[in-house]
């Protein structure tokens, strides 16, 4: 019998890749988007699990509007924290593995080397607090949850999602013809959604439990990432470097939040491919003209 997996948030950037990856490995998959199963409604979560009896439940649903969350922290907390409690309770009842995704923003960015799973968390805003609370709810109700922290997710699914991603934002700004200002003093590890999905399923298949980091190829500033995107796309907009002092946002963000993949690699998983390769693949899969 093929293993049965549920994916919540199935039409998000990561959700579509998880569904694709699981199907390619012959899982029987139930894929629910928000309209079909809102994870903030306990009855909807219970119904989804009861009807399918999954061995593993992937939660790729999230409230990801980092700046808007400062105005509506309850909305972020509802989806990123309380809804994870719904999933954890349901997974405990069904004896299913919960695979939950979290963020590099649980850290404050004061480090000078990529963050490991053992580093102390210190979220800087409402979104980040809500994501850390989600981790805690998963761990509070379940002995065997798998929590994957990732960073700056971009996948071709972002072409059609409401929130999009950094690549699509850069292309949109380039089309507008306006100068584009991007911070050069914030560094992260942008992560290609198909690679993230594949490594996550690898972790599941190796019975990994607890917290794991899966960040993209290498630490890079958002300015350099923008430069790489435009180089790969073959467009030359007016790109200007700025910094956090000049470019204020409602939410504070960690200045340095790359994730170390050492724990994942120690388990025998393949390292994440270089970022340049991921961006090239993105444009190949994306298809549409830039």
Ligand X SMILES: NC(=O)c1ccc[n+]([C@@H]2O[C@H](COP(=O)([O-])OP(=O)(O)OC[C@H]3O[C@@H](n4cnc5c(N)ncnc54)[C@H](OP(=O)(O)O)[C@@H]3O)[C@@H](O)[C@H]2O)c1
Catalytic position from the list 77, 127, 137, 282: 127
Binding ligand X by CB under 6 A: which of 6, 8, 203, 232?
8
Query: Which string of DSSP letters, residue by residue, matches the chain?
Result: ---EEEEESTTSHHHHHHHHHHHHTT-EEEEE-TTT--TTSHHHHHHHHHTT--SEEEE------TTGGGT-HHHHHIIIIIHHHHHHHHHHHHT-EEEEEEEGGGS-S--SSPBPTTSPP---SHHHHHHHHHHHHHHHH-SSEEEEEE-SEE-GGGGTSSS--HHHHHHHHHHHTS-EEEESS-EE--EEHHHHHHHHHHHHHTT--EEEE---SS-EEHHHHHHHHHHHHT----EEEE-TTTS--SS---SB--B--HHHHHTTPPPPPPHHHHHHHHHHHH-S--
Nearer to ligand X, 238 or 256 (CB): 256
Inter-residue contact 123 to 185 (CB < 8 Å): no
Question: Rule CB under 6 A: which of 81-110 touch ligand X?
Answer: 83, 101, 103
Stretch near ligand X under the rule CB under 6 A, chosen from 31-39, 172-180, 209-217, 266-274: 31-39
Distance CA 259, CA 212 (A): 10
Measured from the CB of residue 146, what is the shortest distance to ligand X in angstroms?
13
Binding ligand X by CB under 6 A: which of 6, 29, 39, 48?
39
Per-residue contact string for residues 159-198; x = within reach of ligand X by CB under 6 A: --xxx-----------------------------------
Binding ligand X by CB under 6 A: which of 20, 34, 209, 286?
34
Binding ligand X by CB under 6 A: which of 18, 19, 40, 187?
40
Q: Does 38 bind ligand X (CB under 6 A)?
A: yes
Measured from the CB of residue 40, what is the shortest distance to ligand X in angstroms?
4
Q: Does 9 bind ligand X (CB under 6 A)?
A: yes
Q: Does 11 bind ligand X (CB under 6 A)?
A: yes
77 a catalytic residue:
no
Nearer to ligand X, 1 or 35 (CB): 35
Measured from the CB of residue 1, what is the shortest distance to ligand X in angstroms?
28
Q: How many residues line the site for ligand X (CB under 6 A)?
A: 28
* Interface positions with ligand X (CB under 6 A): 8-9, 11-15, 33-34, 38-40, 60-64, 79, 83, 101, 103, 150-153, 161-163
Q: Which residues are catalytic?
A: 127
């Amino acid at each position: 019998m093929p293993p049965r997996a549920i994916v919540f948030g199935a039409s998000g950037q990561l959700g579509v890749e998880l569904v694709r990856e699981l199907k390619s490995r012959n899982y029987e998959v139930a894929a629910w988007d928000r309209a079909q199963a809102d994870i903030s409604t306990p009855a909807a979560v219970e119904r989804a699990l009861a009807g399918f009896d999954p061995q593993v439940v992937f939660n790729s649903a999230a409230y990801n509007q980092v700046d808007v969350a400062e105005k509506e922290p309850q909305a972020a907390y509802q989806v990123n924290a309380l809804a994870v409690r719904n999933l954890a309770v349901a997974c405990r009842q069904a004896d299913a593995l919960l695979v939950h995704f979290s963020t590099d923003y649980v850290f404050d960015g004061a480090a000078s080397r990529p963050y490991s799973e053992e580093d102390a968390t210190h979220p800087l805003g409402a979104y980040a607090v809500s994501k850390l609370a989600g981790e805690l709810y998963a761990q509070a109700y379940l002995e065997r949850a798998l929590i994957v922290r990732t960073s700056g997710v971009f996948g071709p699914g972002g072409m059609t999602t409401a929130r999009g991603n950094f690549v699509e934002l850069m292309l949109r700004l380039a089309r507008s013809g306006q100068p584009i200002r991007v911070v050069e003093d914030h560094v992260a590890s942008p992560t290609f959604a198909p690679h993230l999905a594949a490594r996550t399923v690898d972790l599941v298949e190796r019975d990994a439990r607890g917290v794991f980091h899966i960040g993209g190829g290498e630490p890079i500033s958002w300015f350099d990432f923008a430069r790489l995107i435009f180089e790969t796309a073959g467009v030359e907009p007016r790109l200007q470097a700025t910094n956090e002092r000049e470019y204020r946002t409602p939410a504070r963000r960690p200045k340095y939040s790359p994730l170390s993949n050492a724990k994942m690699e120690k388990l025998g998983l393949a390292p994440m491919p270089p970022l340049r390769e991921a961006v090239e693949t993105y444009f190949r899969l994306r298809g549409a003209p830039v």
